[in-house]
């Protein structure tokens, strides 16, 4: 989609949803139009005005909400600042904004608190991977705009802040270039990363920061292109929220896919990143666009991101060097024994994170004093090395984080997803609550992470929930029957068809359907929940027992001919054994052996599921810890070369 068409579509969407400046019957995501993040719609208006296009009047009440959010230093204030930076660069002197509004904007940015070591209270999270680059980018670009101005938060000049941010940006760029993203394939946080990087690409004074920021934006787009499916990203994720995995139209990334390669939708989501990329008129490399459009009979992507703390020294990142501490905090491994002493230095006074770190540190100290062994305990939020397996056909996608941190407590990590298109998505979790907003909750994240593996069209998932969690000694599948064209239960399996795509599901333990829960619809769809719930069928398939094995197999008309043939092929299929050693008798693959501590083997052949390359797919083959990605598709080539600071799009 052309950028100007995207901006016009945003305006049309907004006008169709509102009356007297207020959104009618908002979903949870469309409420963003009336929130502080609504400044991205105001940015779209300004961009249209600058291009001589008709645009609705500016809503200064939206700007006032954004100023209040930043001035009160609330969490996610850093999501607003990239829009302000664009406005100050391109719209300060156009006359489209009042002088008073510009003055308020400048004051809010100069008075902001840009890093953890500055004095003053804040409720903001600074240290996760996406927040780090948002704060560093904001500090750099605001400091560059006001080099001689004293920033009241710590009494230093804008030039000082720019210099400090420069060092942090280089570190972050190095880490992401070499190891990818610990918040892997995360629908929202990839977008926040791009929002931070795009301002650096266009406005940073240092040429190397500009080039490397562009290269990382392209790498993120390639990740979405190679793992995307029909305008969505229904994959494994480092962090998830329930709306986006249950209703893919609510993904933050789908509007960006619509903008970059005309797949996806902008009708359900005010995408801050989409509006910003349209404002900058960012051009996706042709080879990456072709990857997104490719529809081979089969595409397998093996991909590795992040590292384990114990391997950090091998890669030259010393956990005992305080300059590296944000690398580990970005992976959320601040509690690891190797970096716990440095983690204790991050905050000089008490807060919720300092309290958490000190609790871990005392655990280690007490065990050491007693000369007792203590299992190293990266926090349950940790996103360490991940080996991603994604298989796509024209009809379905299956994506899995192979054997990721099995048996450990989980947070927002989402080990696997199968999608047959649209909202016909299937996955399993170890539920942590009976609602949809906690982290983890009923469907987003896992109380205890499973051992999940995928190979070809088959996925096996083993749960062993810790007995401490007496209220949740079960596992379950999200299988929305109302989103399928057919659902059949036969041969001990549940079968689903969506158009020409098929899926089979089986639990080793007895499983049953829970009645459709209206709370899901109330939580996600606000005032519009009743219309969706009226059409709902059971979607929660529950298997009691702390230990269980789940098996899933994908198929299609192209692979299996009719849905009836697909179902008939499972007459002799079964899961035998238990969670220690099990065999799934697959119609397509034969004997698939697996267990909690045993290798994955197909017909006796061991399948490697760890230590993948950085990328191994038809479009890019790259070793892990590389600085160069060579992407090629349909006669186009894109070279992302951090070593020589160049991007070739041929």
* 400-411 pLDDT, tens digit each: 999 999 999 999
Answer whether the bond into residue 57 is a cis peptide, omega within 30°.
no
Residue 541's H or E segment, with its range, is strand 540-544
* 145-174 pLDDT, tens digit each: 999 999 999 999 999 999 999 999 999 999
Instruction: Check residue 33 and give its pLDDT.
Output: 54
User: Is the domain of 271 the same as that of 168?
Assistant: yes
Q: Name the phi and psi angles at 534, rounded to 5.
A: -60, -30
**Pairing mode, strands 501-507 and 451-455:** unpaired
Q: Which of 320, 344, 369 is the last residue of a domain?
A: 369
In a domain, 618, yes or no: no
CA dihedral (247, 40, 267, 5) positive or negative: negative
In a domain, 611, yes or no: no
User: Is the domain of 444 the same as that of 542?
Assistant: yes
3-state secondary structure string across 398-447? EEEECCCCCCCECCCCECEEEECCCCCEEEEECCCCCCCCCCCCCCCCCC
Instruction: Check residue 29 and give its pLDDT.
Output: 42
Average pLDDT value for residue range 368-397: 93
In a domain, 111, yes or no: yes
Average pLDDT value for residue range 186-205: 97
Could you give the residue ranges of the DSSP H alpha helices within 180-319? 189-203, 207-227, 242-246, 254-261, 272-280, 286-293
What is the domain extent for residue 49?
Answer: 3-294
User: Is the domain of 179 the same as that of 326?
Assistant: no
User: Is the domain of 165 the same as that of 137?
Assistant: yes
Average pLDDT value for residue range 267-295: 93
The answer on pLDDT for 112 being more than 80 is: yes
* 448-457 pLDDT, tens digit each: 999 999 999 9
CA dihedral (261, 267, 273, 279) positive or negative: positive
The answer on pLDDT for 391 being more than 60 is: yes
d(CA 238, CA 375): 23
Nearest to 402 by CA among 340, 454, 344: 454
* 530-546 pLDDT, tens digit each: 999 999 999 999 999 99
Instruction: Check residue 34 and give its pLDDT.
Output: 58
Average pLDDT value for residue range 88-100: 96
Tell me the pLDDT of the chain averaged across its residues.
Answer: 94
User: Is the domain of 36 the same as that of 107?
Assistant: yes
What's the start-to-end Cα distance of the chain, in Å? 21
* 466-497 pLDDT, tens digit each: 999 999 999 999 999 999 999 999 999 999 99
DSSP state, residue 229: B
Strands in 87-205 per DSSP E = 150-151, 156-157
The answer on pLDDT for 23 being more than 50 is: no
User: Is the domain of 198 the same as that of 238?
Assistant: yes
The answer on pLDDT for 115 being more than 90 is: yes
User: Is the domain of 185 the same as that of 214?
Assistant: yes
**DSSP structure string for 596-643:** SSS--EETTEE---SS--SEEETTEEE-SS-SEEEEEETTEEEEEETT
Instruction: Check residue 31 and give its pLDDT.
Output: 46
In a domain, 490, yes or no: yes
Q: Name the phi and psi angles at 329, rounded to 5.
A: -70, -30
d(CA 86, CA 59): 17
3-state secondary structure string across 294-317? CCCCCEEEEEEECCCHHHCHHHCC
The answer on pLDDT for 287 being more than 50 is: yes
Q: Quick one: pLDDT band at residue 343, thresholds 50, 70, 90?
A: very high
User: Is the domain of 348 the same as that of 242?
Assistant: no
User: Is the domain of 277 the same as that of 129?
Assistant: yes
Average pLDDT value for residue range 267-278: 86
In a domain, 605, yes or no: no
Instruction: Check residue 38 and give its pLDDT.
Output: 87
Only one residue has tokens 């491994």, namely 333
**At 54, is the secondary structure helix, strand, or coil?**
coil
Q: What's the number of domains the chain is made of? A: 3
In a domain, 299, yes or no: no
Instruction: Check residue 486 and give its pLDDT.
Output: 98
In a domain, 431, yes or no: yes
User: Is the domain of 421 the same as that of 476?
Assistant: yes
Average pLDDT value for residue range 491-512: 98
Q: Which of 570, 597, 630 is the last residue of a domain?
A: 570
Comparing 442 with 352, the larger pLDDT belongs to 442
390, 397 Cβ separation under 8 angstroms: yes
Average pLDDT value for residue range 89-113: 97
User: Is the domain of 210 the same as that of 354?
Assistant: no
Give percent of the chain with pLDDT exceeding 90: 90
Q: Quick one: pLDDT band at residue 382, thresholds 50, 70, 90?
A: very high
User: Is the domain of 237 the same as that of 148?
Assistant: yes
Instruction: Check residue 17 and give its pLDDT.
Output: 64
Q: Which of 570, 599, 617 is the last residue of a domain?
A: 570
The answer on pLDDT for 501 being more than 70 is: yes
The answer on pLDDT for 585 being more than 80 is: yes
90, 145 Cβ separation under 8 angstroms: no
Instruction: Check residue 63 and give its pLDDT.
Output: 96
Average pLDDT value for residue range 221-230: 98
Query: Between the ranges 24-38, 259-273, 560-574, where is the mean pLDDT highest?
Result: 560-574
**At 321, is the secondary structure helix, strand, or coil?**
coil
Least confident of 19-33, 218-232, 278-292: 19-33
In a domain, 577, yes or no: no
């Amino acid at each position: 989609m052309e950028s100007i068409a995207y901006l016009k579509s945003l305006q049309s969407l907004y006008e169709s949803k509102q009356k007297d400046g207020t959104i009618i019957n908002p979903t949870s995501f469309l409420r963003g139009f009336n929130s502080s993040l609504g400044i991205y719609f105001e940015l779209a208006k300004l961009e249209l005005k600058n291009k001589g296009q008709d645009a609705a009047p500016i809503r200064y009440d939206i700007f006032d909400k954004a100023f209040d959010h930043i001035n009160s230093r609330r969490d996610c204030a850093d999501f607003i600042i990239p829009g302000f930076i664009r406005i100050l660069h391109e719209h300060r002197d156009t006359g489209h904004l009042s002088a008073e509004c510009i003055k308020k904007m400048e004051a809010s940015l100069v008075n902001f608190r840009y890093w953890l070591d500055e004095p003053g209270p804040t409720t903001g999270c600074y240290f996760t991977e996406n927040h780090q680059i948002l704060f560093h980018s904001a500090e750099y670009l605001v400091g560059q705009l006001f080099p001689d101005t004293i920033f009241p938060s710590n009494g230093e000049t804008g030039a000082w802040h720019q210099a400090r941010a420069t060092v942090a940006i280089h570190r972050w760029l190095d880490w992401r270039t070499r190891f990818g993203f610990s918040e892997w394939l995360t629908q929202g946080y990839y977008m926040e990363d791009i929002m931070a990087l795009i301002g650096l690409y266009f406005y940073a004074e240092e040429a190397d920061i500009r080039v490397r920021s562009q290269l990382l934006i392209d790498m993120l787009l390639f990740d979405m292109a190679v793992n995307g499916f029909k305008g969505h990203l229904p994959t494994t994720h480092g962090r998830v929220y329930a709306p986006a995995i249950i209703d893919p139209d609510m993904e933050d990334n789908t509007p960006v896919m619509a903008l970059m390669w005309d797949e996806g939708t902008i009708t359900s989501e005010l995408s801050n990143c989409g509006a910003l990329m349209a404002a900058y008129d960012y051009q996706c490399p042709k080879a990456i666009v072709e990857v997104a459009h490719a529809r081979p009979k089969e595409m397998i992507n093996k991909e590795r991101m992040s590292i384990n703390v114990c391997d950090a020294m091998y890669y030259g990142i010393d956990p005992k060097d305080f300059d590296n501490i944000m690398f580990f905090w970005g992976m959320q491994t601040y509690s690891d024994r190797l970096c716990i002493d440095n983690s204790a230095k991050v905050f000089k006074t008490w807060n919720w994170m300092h309290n958490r770190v000190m609790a871990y540190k005392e655990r280690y100290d007490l065990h050491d004093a007693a000369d007792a062994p203590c299992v190293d305990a990266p926090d349950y939020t940790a996103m360490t090395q991940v080996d991603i397996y994604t298989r796509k056909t024209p009809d379905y996608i299956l994506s899995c984080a192979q054997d990721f941190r099995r048996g450990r407590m989980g947070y927002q990590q989402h080990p696997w997803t199968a999608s047959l298109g649209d909202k016909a998505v299937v996955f399993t979790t170890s539920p942590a609550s009976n609602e949809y907003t906690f982290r983890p909750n009923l469907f987003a994240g896992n109380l205890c992470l499973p051992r999940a593996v995928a190979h070809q069209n088959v996925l096996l998932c083993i749960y062993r929930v810790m007995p401490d969690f007496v209220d949740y000694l079960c596992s379950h599948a999200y299988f929305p029957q109302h989103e399928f064209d057919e659902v059949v239960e036969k041969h001990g399996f549940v079968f689903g068809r969506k158009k020409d795509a098929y899926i089979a599901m089986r639990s080793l333990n007895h499983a049953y359907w829970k009645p459709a829960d209206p709370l899901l619809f109330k939580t996600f769809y606000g005032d519009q929940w009743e219309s969706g719930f009226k059409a709902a069928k059971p979607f929660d398939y529950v298997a009691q027992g702390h230990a269980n094995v789940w098996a899933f197999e994908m198929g299609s008309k192209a692979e299996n001919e009719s849905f009836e043939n697909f179902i008939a092929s499972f007459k002799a299929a079964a899961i035998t054994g238990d969670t220690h050693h099990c065999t799934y008798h697959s119609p397509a693959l034969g004997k698939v052996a697996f267990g909690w501590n045993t290798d994955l083997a197909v017909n006796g052949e061991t399948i490697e599921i760890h230590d993948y390359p950085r990328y191994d797919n038809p479009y890019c083959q790259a070793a892990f810890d590389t600085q160069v990605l060579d992407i090629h598709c349909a006669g186009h080539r894109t070279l992302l070369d951090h070593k020589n600071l160049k991007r070739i799009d041929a």
